Amino acid sequence: MIRNCIGSIKTVINFFRQSALRDGLLKDVADSAGATHSNLVSLCETRWTEKHLAVERFAKMFSVVTNALQTLQDSRRECASQAYQLQQAIRKLSICSIVAHFAKSFQVHRKS
């Protein structure tokens, strides 16, 4: 279950980072929402510190990401169906709770 969560997060991050238009849209949505961060951090499977930063940033930007995915879905672009699939994957309760759990557990490890 945790592996699936990390996989979903990585897929969403790559979805935005692989396209300048989608990355720009994410930044626009973040700016209009007044978010402290406007981009996602790439997720490296083997480096725990980078994985921590990526998951933490994803958790902080969760509402921005879902809003950007909704905007892409409504735009009727080529990526609309993929945006819909990603939005459904990350909106599942198990994903949300795991992201929150990861963020908390990484903070505990960071303080130690």
Domain ranges of the chain: 2-111
pLDDT one-digit tens code per residue, 69-107: 999 999 888 899 999 999 988 877 556 666 666 666 666
pTM: 0.79
Question: How far is 104 from 111, CA to CA, in rounded Å?
Answer: 11
